[in-house]
Amino acid sequence: MIIKNTNDRPVEIQMATRRIVVHPGEEKMITAEEVRDPTLRQKLQVRAISIVRPATEEEELQLREMLGEGEE
């Protein structure tokens, strides 16, 4: 998924898998598993961030490779 910071200040999200900081107007990619993270879900509920769109298969693969979760 692609998320976007809809606030006028940076949003820090400390998930179980990793910590990300999303600056105002910035988009970041998260994995499908991270969407279920309670901290991320709380940020979605208070509208600190919003989901822009699902990631493409290629984007998801690139993110997993970057995070060291590639197929073995």
* Residue pLDDT, tens place only, 10-47: 999 999 999 999 999 999 999 988 989 999 999 989 88
Pairing of strands 2-5, 49-53: antiparallel
Separation CA 7–CA 5 (nearest Å): 6
Q: How far apart are CA 11 and CA 3, in angstroms?
A: 11
Is the per-residue pLDDT at 50 higher than 80?
A: yes
User: Binning pLDDT at 50, 70 and 90, where does residue 70 land?
Assistant: low
Domain ranges of the chain: 2-66
What is the model's pLDDT at position 72? 44
Q: Which pLDDT value is given to residue 25?
A: 95
For residue 49, how many other CB atoms are within 10 A of its CB? 22
Q: How many CB atoms lie within 10 A of CB 11?
A: 20
pLDDT at 71: 52
Report whether 8 contacts 57 (CB < 8 A): no
